[in-house]
Chains A and B, each alone.
Chain A
Amino acid sequence: MRTLVRDKLRAGETPDQIKAYFVSRYGEWILLEPKMTGLNVALYALPVFLVVGGIVLIVFLVRRWTKPDEAGVA
Chain B
Amino acid sequence: VNWKRIAIALFAVVPVIALFAFGFTRNPAEIPSPLPGKMAPPFKLAVVASGEGVLAKSVGDTIRLRDMAGKVIVLNFWASWCLPCRTEHAALSAMARYYADKPTQFIGVLYNDSAAAGLRWIDEMGGMSYPAVTDVESRTAIDYGLYGVPETFIIDPTGRVAHKELGPVTEEILRRVVDSVLVAMASADSASRPIKK
Contact = CB atoms under 8 A, between A and B. Distances in A.
A29 B31 contact: yes
B9 to A, nearest CB: 14
B34 A26 contact: yes
B-side interface mostly: loop
A47 to B, nearest CB: 13
Contact of A23 (B34, B137, B139, B143): B34
Contact of A27 (B32, B137, B142, B143): B32
A71 interface: no
Interface residues of A, number: 10
Contacts, number: 27
Contacts of A24: 34
Interface in A1-52: 1, 3-4, 23-27, 29-30
Contacts of A25: 34-35, 41, 142-145
B146 to A, nearest CB: 9
Contacts of A23: 34
A24 B41 CA distance: 11
